[in-house]
Structures are given as C-alpha cells and as structure tokens.
Structure 1
C-alpha cells in the first residue's frame, strides 16, 4: 500500500523529484571527490613541501565544497516541496473520500480514527517522503562510490568493509524487525487517546453533571499510559541503533588505522591514502547510518499507509448512480415499501414503510423511543440506502438522482443542532451562500430568533463558537431552523427540532412556517404531541412499522398506540 500511495500521489511532482535526484547525485559525487584531493595534498604537497600545490588543490576543494552546499540546499528544497505537496494531496483525498461516506462507513471507522488517519498517519508517510528525498539518492552513490574509491586507494584493507557493512546492516535489520509490531500498536493507541479525549470534550457537561471527572481522568490515564508504554518499548529498541552504528564505525576506524599503519611501515601505502581510505570508510558507514534513519520511519509509515489505504479503498455503501437524473419536477416525497436493516442485525429497523408527503402539506412522524423515526429521516436525504423498497422524490428514486440535486431539494434540521465556528451570518448562509441580509432576517423572524440576534452586539456578524457552545440550546435550535429556512428547499425535514423550544415559541414558529412556507413539503419528527396536532397527516411508528396514519382526530379514534401517547402528554380537553 505504501508504494501504491507514493506512486499515485507523487506522480504529479516528477519534475521536482528529478531535480532532487540530479542535485543529490551532484552533491554525493562532490563528497566522493574531496577525500582523494585531501590525500593528494598530504602526499604531493605536505610531504614534499610544495606550497603552491597545497594552495591550488585547496582552492579546488573549496570550490567543490561550495558547489556541494548549493546542490544540497536545492535538493532539500525540491524534496520538501514534493513532500509537502504529497501530504496536502493525500489529506485532500482522505477528506474527499470521507465526505462520500454514508453514516455506516463513518460509524465503522469512528470519528477519532478518521481524524488520526487524516493527520498523524499522513504526517508519518509525508516524513518518510521527505527523508527519502534527502537520503535515498545520496546513500547508494556514497556507498557504492565510496567502496570503489576505497578499493582504489588500497585493496588490501577492503576486508574491513566486507566485515563492517554486513554487521551494521544485520544489527539495524534486527532492531527494525522487532519494532514493527510496536508501531502498529502505537497508531491504534493514538486512536484510543483521540477517542477518549473527543468524548470527554464533547460530553463535558454530562461528565460534570454526574461528577465523573475522576473516572474520566482515570480512563484517559489508562489510554495515555498504554500509548506511552508502547512508544517507550519502540523507543528503547531504536535507542540501541545509534550506539550500534557508532560502535561499528569506531571499531572500523581503529581497524583501518591499526592495519594501515603496518601497510605504511611496509611501504605498501602512503599516509594520504590511509586518510583517504578512512574518509571513504566513514562516508560508507555514515551513508548506511543515514539509511537507517529512513528505515526507522519505514515501519511506522508502512502501518500508517495501510491505515490510509483502508479509508481510500473503502467504497461508500451509498453510491452515486451511473446515469443520474439531474432535474426534479416537484417536491413530492414518497416511500414505497421501504425497509432497512443494519448489516449483521437480526431484525430490521424499518419494515414496509409506505406513505406520500405532498407540497403544501405537513407530514408528522411520531412514535416511542426506538421506533425508527431517526432512521426513517436518514433514508430521505439518502444518508442510508433502503435495503428493500424505494424512496422517491418528485417521482424519481433517490438512488437514480444526482446526489447534489437530491440534497439541494432538501433542508434538514437535525435532532442535535450543530453550528459551525464563524458568525451568525456565515452559519445561516451555509445552504445558500448568496443569501442577502434581508433573507437572513426574514428566516430569523420565522424561526423566532430575530429578537436575540438583534440583541447581540454585532447582530448578524456576532461570533459563533464551534458547535454553537456560546449560545443556549433553544437559541442554537432556532438558528439551525433559520439556516434550513434560508435555503428555501422544496422539502424541509425537522428531526425532533422543536423539543428545545418552549410551548409558546413552538406555537408561534409553527404558525409562521404555515404562513411563509405553505408550498413546501414539510416532514416533522416529534416527541411532543402538541407540535403535530394540526399536521395534515400523522404517521405513527412502532417497532419500525406503521401502526397508524391519519389526522389527529382520526388517529384518536383508530390508533390505540397514538391515543396512549396523547394521554401521556395531554389532558382530555387539550387532546380534543
């Protein structure tokens, strides 16, 4: 999977990668020239007292060093540009794929894991790309070129290379082999830390209300300790790597000096050649050591790439049609024998749901907790696909509609209203970016939110915190309703959206909706009977089936389940 990601997302930046190769190769070749020139200075300049040779050769070395620095800087710049662009594109691809997921795929991965995969996992692969661009080209050139150059200086000492390099590779390979399982665990435990932290931040009010701070601190501590323990185990293994490399390097250097001294004493080698051989040996081992830094990142990047690949390779269960219908005629909404069950579930959540909601009418859905109301609402904008039957909008099956056309035809006020960080205006324009201020105030008027928005110091430009945490629950609910009204879609769905409102505000809001949005197909999911008394038709759900259908008065006479709900909430006079 790692190779597949690298090929796919680095392909657009092949010119930058070619630049990396060219400049890294030039920098490496320059590094290989310096020890030989240094040996000439010692043997042909210092040994015979030729100052002119020393100065001229030193000038050449200085020029090569400057060229080496320039090539190195340019190569790192090109590599960084390619790596950062790679990370940007990969994050964008994950975000786009997650945006295509239905509720089923999001629930399967979990929000915390998807965030980790988009941030931490991408960062691991991106860092590997950066290090690879810096090291991958220079390492083989320095290693192979260093061996050839060292043999050219003295072939007798080559046995040191034959021993040192395999020993170093074997030691590093063993360390990395032991570390791979820990890196796999580490990414999973980062998910766990993110999940616990996300739950605690989202549910802070519940935690404080039930005085569970100590329990949550302990729960986070367990997840944090598990991550720390795994990281320490991997860290201890890699802590061995640098000492092992330095041990091999130092022992090899001592061996070169020791045996090289005998070669010089016998007259088989000059002093400059000895220093050149030692320099090449150090370059070879340092190249191997730099490669180990890349290998340190490789196991973790491989695990991260696999996790990213799982997201990118997961096909959404709600697939766009091959030949989508791009036009809608009318806002009539119809369910024909619609059924739905979750994968692996023994019983369906919804069974044989059939009804029609027409423009200008209000269709209410009511039922006990767990009767399937929210699942039914999720089928309408195609957050899930029915497992049997069909959902039709304007006479067209939603599975044949262009997703953008379907979603543009609907406005949804969710059960838990969510506002985005920004301003009141930016939230209200979420479904209609070109809406005028007059349209915003009109929607706020209908949603019974104009008074408190006008009371804010900045009015429409008043800041809204993430999630709308700086406004009350009722205000957040009314702003979410106003956001849906600004869009003026053909179908508006209220998923238990009036529960946070007092009875008087609820009544005024419904009266304004009936007056200003009389031509809209309205779907209202409610727990409160008073909210749906005047609905044109009421659908009563029980255990995922329709057990009653009609107006309020008709259901009082024909549906025992509806009558029980009414009796639990209203007096006889109110019900009548």
Structure 2
C-alpha cells in the first residue's frame, strides 16, 4: 500500500476535481437512501389510507430526488474521470521520461516487455482503480452505512437480521479481496511475458521468416499466451464466486425478513411498507458491500501495478550528472587512460587497460575481430556506459564532469545498428539538429551519399519511413543514420561500422566528404574493413579487449602481425586497399 501512497502527488494538481466528485456522489447516495422511505410512506399513509393528494405529493418528491441523484451522479462521473485520466497521463509521462534517462543496464534490469506493461497496462490499472475509488467507493460505504442507520431507526424489529447478514458479507469480501491481490500480481507477470515475446518476434520478423521458424515462434507465443489465459481464468473464477455467494446470503436475509414480517404484520406491530422498505434497504446494503468489494478488488489489482511503477520511477539511472556539471563547449581532444570495462561485472572485462590519445581534428580508426571491444570504446565516449576502472578525458577534463546534454550535444553518433523512426526522412535527419536549415539537410544527405536515392523518391525528403524502416534497404538506412550525425556538425564524430552495407564507391565519396567537411571534428571510425580506416591519423588494433597495435596504416603493416593478418585475409577474400 506504501507504493500507492507514494503516487498521491500525481493527484494534487487535480485535488479540486477529486473533492467535487465524491461530494456529488454523496448527493446521489442521499437521494437513493431517501426513496425507499418515501415508498414506505406512500404505501402506509397514502395507499393504505386512500389519501390521493399525499400520494401525488410524495410522487413529486420521488421525482425530485431522482433528478437530484441523476445530477449528482453525472457530475461525479465527469470529475472522477477528469481526475483519473489526468492522474494516469501524468504518471505515464513521468514513466516515459524516466525510461529515456535509463542506461542500457537499467533497461536490461527491467526488460523491455515489462517496461511496456508498466507504461500501458499498469497505468491503465491505476486509472481504473482511481475512477472507481472516487465514484463507487464513496457510494458503497455511504449506501451501506446509511441503509443500516435508516433500518435501525425505522425498522428496528427487523434489525437483528442485519446482525447476521452483514458480518457474513463483510468477511466474504475481505477474504476474496485478499486473495485477488496475489492472483492479479501473477496475471501482470504473465502479461510481461506476452509483451516481451511480441516485442521480440516483431523486431525479429525477418529472421523468423528467413529461417522458416514461424511455427516455432507461434508455439512459443502459444505457451506464454496460455499461461496468461490460465492465470486470468483462475483469478476471474475465484472472484466470480463472490457475487453468487453474496446474493445467496442476501436472499436468505430477504426470506428471513418476509418470514418475521408476516408474524409482526399479523400482530400489527409492523406495517407492510416497513417490510418493503427493509427489503429495499437490504438490497442497498448488498449493493453497497458489493460495490465496495469491487473497488477493493480493483485496488488489490492496482497495488502490484503501483509497486511495479514506483520501482521504475525510483530506479536511479546509472549515468548521471555530477553535482556541478561543466557546460562549456568541447574542442574534441579525447584521451583514454587505463580504461577497463565489463557489461556484466561478474564476467571477464570487455576492455582491458585501454590507453590512447587523439587530438582535436584527427581521425582515429578502430579495427579488430568481432567481439574485440571496438563498439564498446566509442559507446564510452558519450557515456552510454561508465568505465569500471580508468579515466576518459575530453579536452583534459574527465567526461563525468561534463553536463550530459552538453557532452552528447557535441557528439555526432551513428551507431552500429541504424535506428530510424517512423517519420519523414527530413525529420529523421533533423533529429540530429532540429534547428538545421534546408541547405544543411541537403548537405548532410549529400555527404552521406543518401541524396542520390532520396531525390528519386516521389516525396523526396518528406518520404515517410515505416516502423522499423522496412521500406528502406540496409545501405539506405546506414546512409541516413550518417546524415543524422553529419547535420549536427559535431566536435566529435563517431561512425560505428556505418558503411558495412554501403558499396565501395559510395564509401569513398563519404570518406572524401568527411575529410573535407569535418576538418575540425575529431573522428572515430570503427570498421571491420581496412579500406574504411587506412587513411586515419592513427589506427587502434584490438584483440580480446586489448590494444595490440597502434599507429598509421603503413606503420602497422610493417610492425603488427594482427593487422597484417587482417589485411591479408581481406585481400584473399577480394578486398581492395587501393586509393
């Protein structure tokens, strides 16, 4: 319950709405409670005494009460919905903002499927719980207590029946509510598994088709889907027992009331209208308890969701600003000093004792076998991760002293996997610099050799990219990702194997554009191809997370056997090293 209370700050901006809603519900409940008593008076004093004018007067009072109850209920619904919807929207917004600041390790801790459930299903669960809390939960207890008080005052002869019925109903509701909380926590965990499976399958749909594993994936989804189904059935079946059980108890109470009332009417110690009113109030008591139980069960379902949401909101991002971050501009001198790093701290380090320095405006190439740590090095520069040991400096200052936005704003990063958004080409490229002009856009597209295919599209720069960029080839995606980095005109340009799907002619044109247009930028070029990095001012050769060679292309050809092996292998496979 502590998790639920920690979210109360999201209600404060809408506190006026949250107060108006239950007040209006009080009006509706009050009008509902009055009507059985009015009915009693119509029967006992109007119909029994053949008093037509009294009947008409009480009928008018009934209509007025019904109208006021309708007004109160409508206003309550409007303001309860406003409160709950805004409350959920604010939580969803904060969740999204929190997730965007997560490092990769934070995301791995929760998993993407669970985060998707948090921001959709869990928030929806809280919204429904708050709506019911403001509407139904006020109605339930008020109806329950009001009916008991009125029965005690107007039908005391039948009151002992309530002393038996009410405790049975209350215990049943408490028992089933307690069970429901545990059951629906398991349901949400099953929803996580379904979301994770769907996300993985949609992301890897091409691989699934290529390997003809559609049936295998369907079987895997069927497994998690059936698990969710079984947990939902179990939860709904157990909760479903409550309604017929309470109806049975109330019906027994009605039978007891009719039986006792028959004797008392015969003895003239009670009137017929009182019995009818008592039955109505007994139904109200059951309705009040049932509506209260529904709210309690909804809250029981919402509590696990609240815990999961609070866990995300309270998760501390591993990558944060220092207390007094530096916001000065960056020139681009980068230095690694004895850097060690491991993705999983229990496993062997991915980088070991990495040390090198590159001056502003220079180009550094990084090459090595798959898994040697090439991408890890460049991911450390914009602080996608922090080092375990050692220090990274930019312009002589440790990078953790820089403001994160300032640091990353000075870096143009084209990652190994070209990620594009389901927006236009212009919006995707200007993602690197939303203040860029049309001329800047064209220049970036030309520098990355992307303009040659963009200009052939019907909509050109306004061409809409589908989700996952499935309407572009691999090379087209890579070139647009590079254009997005180029348009930033950064102090540090990082290209992480961004020409693997680009033909050699286009690659040479891109290299020429980088040389001409980014003379003052420090350039990190990660590649598995010698032709991509041979002109670098210095080249790092990596093997098993260690630097095993450092120097120019010519120096490494003479002194480094690992580099020589890479060159000879690419030549054997038909690679070209010519100018």
Distance in 1, Cα, partners of 2:181 & 2:131: 20
What is the rounded CA distance, in whole Å, between the counterparts of 1:103 and 1:496 in structure 2? 20
What corresponds to 1:190 in structure 2?
A: 191
Q: Which residue of 2 aligns with 1:503?
A: 504
The match for 1:371 is 372
Q: How much has 1:397 moved relative to structure 2?
A: 1.8
Cα deviations by residue, 1:131-151 (Å, 9 ceiling, x for unpaired):
111112122221111111001
Q: Is the 8 A contact 1:153 1:276 kept in 2?
A: no
Task: Compute the displacement of 1:329 (Å).
Answer: 4.1
Q: Which runs of 5+ in 1 are unaligned?
A: none
Name 1:394's counterpart in structure 2. Answer: 395
Mapping of residues 316-465 of structure 1, within 5 Å: 316-465=317-466
Q: For residue 25 of structure 1, what is the aligned residue in structure 2? A: 26
Give the deviation of 1:341 after TM superposition.
Answer: 2.1
TM-score of the superposed pair, with normalisation by structure 2: 0.97
Cα distance in 2 for partners of 1:332, 1:289 equals 69
- What's the counterpart of residue 216 of structure 2? 215
Provide the secondary structure at the position in 2 that maps to 1:487.
coil
Runs of 4+ that moved beyond 6 A: none
1:2 is displaced (CA, Å) by 3.7
Q: How many positions carry a matched residue from both structures?
A: 576
Q: Aligned with 1:524: secondary structure? A: strand
- Work out the CA distance in 2 between the residues paired with 1:255 and 1:391: 82
TM-score (norm 1): 0.97
Tell me the CA shift for residue 399 of structure 1.
1.0
1:163 paired to 2:164: yes
1:261 lines up with 2:262 in the alignment: yes
Question: What is the CA distance between 1:406 and its match in structure 2?
Answer: 0.7
Q: Distance in 1 between matches of 2:492 and 2:30?
A: 69
Shift of 1:563: 1.5
In structure 1, C-alpha distance between the alignment counterparts of 2:7 and 2:368, rounded to whole Å: 52
Partner residue of 2:61?
Answer: 60
2:296 aligned with 1:289, yes or no?
A: no
Q: Helix, strand or coil: the match of 2:480?
A: helix
- CA distance in 1 between counterparts of 2:282 and 2:322 reads 63
Q: Find the aligned partners of 1:293 and 1:315 in 2 and give their Cα distance.
A: 35
Question: Does the aligned pair in 1 maintain the 2:336–2:354 contact within 8 Å?
Answer: yes
- Contact 1:320/1:402 (CA < 8 Å) preserved in 2? yes
CA deviation vs aligned residue, 1:110-152 (integer Å, no higher than 9, x gap): 1111111110111111110111111121222211111110011
Cα distance between partner residues in 1 of 2:383 and 2:7: 34
After superposition, where does 1:519-538 map in structure 2 within 5 Å? Answer: 519-538=520-539
What's 2:570 paired with? 569
Taking the aligned partners of 2:90 and 2:379, their CA distance within structure 1 comes to: 31
- Measured against aligned partners, the alpha-carbon deviations of 1:2-45 in whole angstroms (never above 9, x if no partner) come to 42244121122111111012111111112111111211111111
Residue deviations 1:139-195 (CA, integer Å, cap 9, x gap)? 222111111100111222112111111111222333333333321221111111111
Q: Is the 8 A contact 1:444 1:479 kept in 2?
A: yes
1:328·1:394 contact (CA, 8 Å) conserved in 2?
no
Does structure 1 conserve the Cα–Cα contact (< 8 Å) formed by 2:4 and 2:303? no
Q: Which runs of 5+ in 2 are unaligned?
A: none
Q: CA deviation at 1:360?
A: 2.0
Deviates more, 1:424-433 or 1:5-14: 5-14
